[in-house]
Structure 1
Amino acid sequence: MGRTRIFSSSKFFQPSDGEPVRSIVTESKDAVVVAWYIKPGQAIPAHTHPNGQDTWTVLSGKGDYYLDKAGTTKSIAAGDVVVAHTGCVHGVFNNGDEPLVFISVVSPADAGYQLVSLEDSFALHPSLIIQSTGL
Structure 2
Amino acid sequence: MTDRRTADRLLADAEERLRVTEELPARLAAVRGWAYNADENVQVTVDVHGGLKELKLDESALSLGPDALGEAIVALSHRAQQAALAEGVNVLGDALGDAAALEMMRSAGLRPDPEPDVVPYTPGVDPNAHRWRVIED
Q: Do Structure 1 and Structure 2 share a fold, with TM-score over 0.5?
A: no
**Structure with higher helix content:** 2
**Structure with higher strand content:** 1
Structure with larger RCO (C-alpha < 8 A, sep 6+) = 1
- Which has the larger Rg? 2
